[in-house]
Amino acid sequence: MTLVLVLGSFDTGRRVATFEPSRADLDDARRGDRLAFARLFEGFAPMVHGVLIAHGPSSEVDDLMQDVFLTALERLSSMDTERVGPWLAAIARNRMIDSLRRRARLVAMPTEEQGATDPERAEANQVLAIIRTMPDTYRETLVLKLVEGLSGKEIAEQTGLTPDSVRVNLHRGMRMLRERLGLSPEGDLDE
Amino acid sequence: MSDPLESLKSLKYQPKPGRWEALASAPPRRSRRPFVVAVALLAAALAIGVFLGTREHGLPMELVVDGVRRTSSLGSRWLETKPTESATVTITDIGQVTVDPGSRVRLLNTGPAQHRLELTRGTLHARVTAPPRLFVVETPTASAIDLGCAYTLKVTDEGSELTVESGMVSLAGKGREVTVLEGMRAVSSASRAPTTPVAIDASPAFIEAVAQFDRDGSAVEQLLILARPADAATLWHLLPVVPGVRRSAVFGMLRSMVRAPESLTVENSADANSPVMQQWFASIIASR
């Protein structure tokens, strides 16, 4: 795994970590090297985390991340080294959906998220609950941007969406989210 | 007033160094669809059989007879080593197997997906560096599945005994699969699934208590009293098979030895294949 620090011209201009998978780890993982895959997965972990919390309760995300990791490990031979992110994102969505089906929570989210004692976290969970009521097309993109801090370019690369789709989703999603939160329309994301 | 969107950053993914490496080092999960896998393997075996016809495939082998070395190969025909014979089989580029005198062994199949030997009598010593589950030795009572290691497998009329010198090996049979770590041993017999692995250097009283539990489900209290932190892997194996109330006691003891994942409870500790139990096992391995 290679972590490259670059100066981001987008967003706020602060230093942003950009993940760039190493070719050696990709090839080794494809051949079944579990430790190489572990290094690779760490780079994609924020995206997997974001996809999971975009769809289901935060309380289950830790276990589900492991589930995604282990499921991917079992299916390494089917991994397309050019599309690892979209492949992991698909596994993450499926695992969360399976989990929700198992627990019959498709409609009602658990209440413990609202019971967080840390005020900032409680507020975050409330905003997240509103994001989860939004159309699927906006949900993941917003969470990856606002929670995980990924850039539009990174979101596109890691989820397989086109950069244009990400830009539109962020623009429209942010406008809808701010409306639902009763915030002024300014402060849109410029990417 | 603070921006509520800023608060979302508090939910950001928090990396835990080494977490995924530890999980990757743990034994692979067993298949949740054993039937499907069995059918697929059977179909694959049939297809390979049809394709290969009667072609004989073998692995290079060096036989030592009365101290004299000669080159040979191990194939589907049985190799029965005499009291003065031993053999060293090279498993392509992944390792070597040494067969002791008085053993009976043959090659079941070899290929990029798996190398499989069968040992019905005697002792072999394997040293393998390969991805998990690539090298398997079948015995009359269990399968020894390599997870990256060096081990000794002994087959007698009573059953199979697996002792791991480094790394770890899975021993599977009769519906149970145990993971035997370095310095541990497990046995299987015709009438019983593989036993709970125990450390070779554990006290005789602890070893006997575990054996007693494997025989009739009793002696849980004794083995908990005698367990050392070094016996954590043994206790982990007990969780899925210890009934009801006693599971709480084993869970509590194990948790006092190795920190448990936050989402792990007594109830969900009964599924050894669950991610959270695999995570705990990875922590146990790391604590050794």
Q: Which of A7-11, B133-137, B281-285 has the lowest mean pLDDT?
A: A7-11
Residue of A142 and B26 predicted with greater confidence: A142
Provide residues of A within 8 Å CB-CB of chain B: 31-35, 37-39, 41-42, 45-46, 49-50, 53, 58, 62-63, 66-67, 69-70, 73-74, 118, 120-121, 123-128, 143, 146-149, 177, 181, 183, 187
Q: Is the pLDDT of residue B253 over 90?
A: yes
Whether the pLDDT of residue A109 is over 60: the answer is no
* B113 interaction partners in chain A (CB closer than 8 Å): none
pLDDT average, residue stretch B49-74: 69
- Cβ contacts of B29 on chain A, cutoff 8 Å: 70, 74
Task: Calculate how close chain B gets to A2, using CA atoms only, in Å.
Answer: 15
Instruction: Say if the Cβ atoms of A128 and B11 lie within 8 Å.
Output: yes
Give B78's Cβ-side CA count (13 Å radius): 10
What confidence tens digit (pLDDT) does each residue in B117-143 have? 999 999 999 998 877 788 999 999 999
B68-112 pLDDT per residue, tens: 788 888 988 899 999 989 999 988 778 899 999 999 999 998 887
Helices (H), chain A: 23-30, 34-55, 61-74, 84-102, 119-131, 136-146, 152-159, 163-181
For the cut 50, the answer to whether the pLDDT of residue B19 exceeds it is yes
Three-state DSSP at A118 gives coil
* Structure tokens given for B185: 């041993």
So what's the pLDDT on residue B51? 45
From A168's Cα to the closest Cα of chain B, the distance in A is 19
Contact at CB, A69 and B13, closer than 8 angstroms:
no
**pLDDT of B190 over the 60 cut:** yes
Radius of gyration over alpha carbons of chain A, in Å? 17
For residues A172 and A138, is the Cβ–Cβ distance under 8 A? yes
The residue among B133, B134, B168, B132 whose CA lies nearest residue B150 is B168
Which of B8, B14, B146, B277 to mutate to probe the A interface, most A CBs <10 Å? B8
Using an 8 Å CB-CB cutoff, list residues of chain B that contact chain A: 3-5, 7-13, 15, 20-21, 23-25, 28-29, 131-132, 261-263, 275-276, 278-279
- Distance of residue A164 Cα from the nearest chain B Cα, in angstroms: 23
pLDDT of residue B126: 95
pTM: 0.53
Residue with tokens 């994942």: B261
What is the band of A12 on the pLDDT scale with cuts at 50, 70, 90? Answer: very low
Least confident segment among A15-19, A156-160, A183-187, B220-224: A15-19
More confident residue, B54 or B160: B160
Cβ <8 Å between B8 and A147? yes
Residue A17 has pLDDT above 80, yes or no: no
State the first-to-last Cα distance of chain B, in angstroms, to the nearest integer: 51
Which residue in A46, A67, A125 is closest to B275 by CB distance? A67
Task: Using the Cα atoms of residue A186, residue A187, residue A191 and residue B6 in order, give the sign of their dihedral.
Answer: negative
Residues of chain B with C-beta less than 8 angstroms from the C-beta of A183: 3-5
Distance between CA A79 and CA A69 in Å, rounded? 13
Q: Which of A34-38, A187-191, B44-48, B50-54 has the highest mean pLDDT?
A: A34-38
pLDDT confidence bin for B243, thresholds 50/70/90: confident
- Taking CB atoms and an 8 Å limit, are A121 and B10 in contact across chains? yes
Banded model confidence at residue B39, pLDDT cuts 50, 70, 90: low
What pLDDT is attached to residue A114? 46
Cβ B276–A63 below 8 Å, yes or no? Answer: yes
pLDDT in tens, B195-242: 999 999 999 999 999 999 999 999 999 999 999 999 999 999 999 999
Which residue, among B59, B78, B58, has the nearest Cα to B121 in the 3D structure?
Answer: B78
Based on the number of CB atoms within 10 Å of its own CB, is B203 exposed (0-12), middle (13-18) or buried (19 or more)?
middle
Per-domain residue ranges of chain B:
54-195, 198-288
> How close does chain B come to A37, measured CA to CA in Å?
8
| Token couple for B42 | 């059977």
Residues B152/B123, Cβ–Cβ less than 8 Å: yes
Residue B192 has pLDDT above 80, yes or no: yes
* pLDDT 10s digits, A43-96: 999 999 999 999 888 777 888 898 899 889 888 888 888 899 999 999 998 888
**Could you state, in order of their start, the residue ranges of all structural domains in chain A?**
22-181
* pLDDT tens readout for residues A126-140: 899 899 888 878 999
- CATH topology for B54-195? Jelly Rolls (2.60.120)
Q: Which of A127, A180, A189 to mutate to test the interface with B (most CBs of B within 10 A)?
A: A127
